[in-house]
Structure 1
């Protein structure tokens, strides 16, 4: 840029800067105004030979584009932040991940141990969220038949998941030469 172009640019900054800032103030938070105005004039500086005279319309159009770019970048940052937060929450281990995994495996093994009809009855209600009447319709059975299946399945699950009472040993009897007394 020549000395006369430097002077012309400085004059535009002095004269048009406040007008560009007034436009920008209506579109961005107060903390961002100076950054947008500065970026607008940086772009003007780089293309000063191509900027029409008087430059105010071009400067406001450029400020409008800078604002748009700034908003898109903010949306991308927010979307990225939201995705990272979701991934962090999903990847965060449970308080006792080993215990949760063991419980899940035990539940899956218990389900696998049920007869197919009982397992399907439980899954339709528990996992698919169907009412007993809806699940009965899916299976093509009467609601009463379905309720009997789920009742039996729950009982079988209790039997499979609740550890049996420890068996008590026979009382100690002294052994004699002839055998037990």
Structure 2
């Protein structure tokens, strides 16, 4: 990835984060977590209910499992018929991560598994549908953008910065689109 690719990734992250903030993606995923908590808690005796800490666990697990180059590229590669090696490695890593997150956040982390199933399943179908339409340049910026978002998530998890990582997700669509636009202009 050359200088143009770096600029595309940075612009995609800036514009994508602005769009994510405008669409209130972080707030919406937190609302989804609250809805899951209230649904789970309905009719449960005190002491067996989910807390706001559990909601944070659900949101964190969903982000950790869904945002990142391995899940995106692995699913797309599987759909493209290039094998599922990355997804197998990701599943092993996610298993260890789920154990660690469960120690901190409890059972709510398991809710992220349902989101992963839908998310990676849709990406695999998308990869199958796209066939060979995604050239390496688009995959490279997608990989780089996902890596930066994953790094931001790491900063959030470490408590270094409270970043609204979910709001960065539109950048994953904008980065490959940026490569296409630059290709048309040049």
TM band (smaller chain)? under 0.3
TM-score under structure 2 length normalisation: 0.24
Find the structure with the greater CA-based Rg.
1
**Larger RCO (CA within 8 A; separation ≥ 6):** 2
TM-score w.r.t. structure 1 length? 0.24
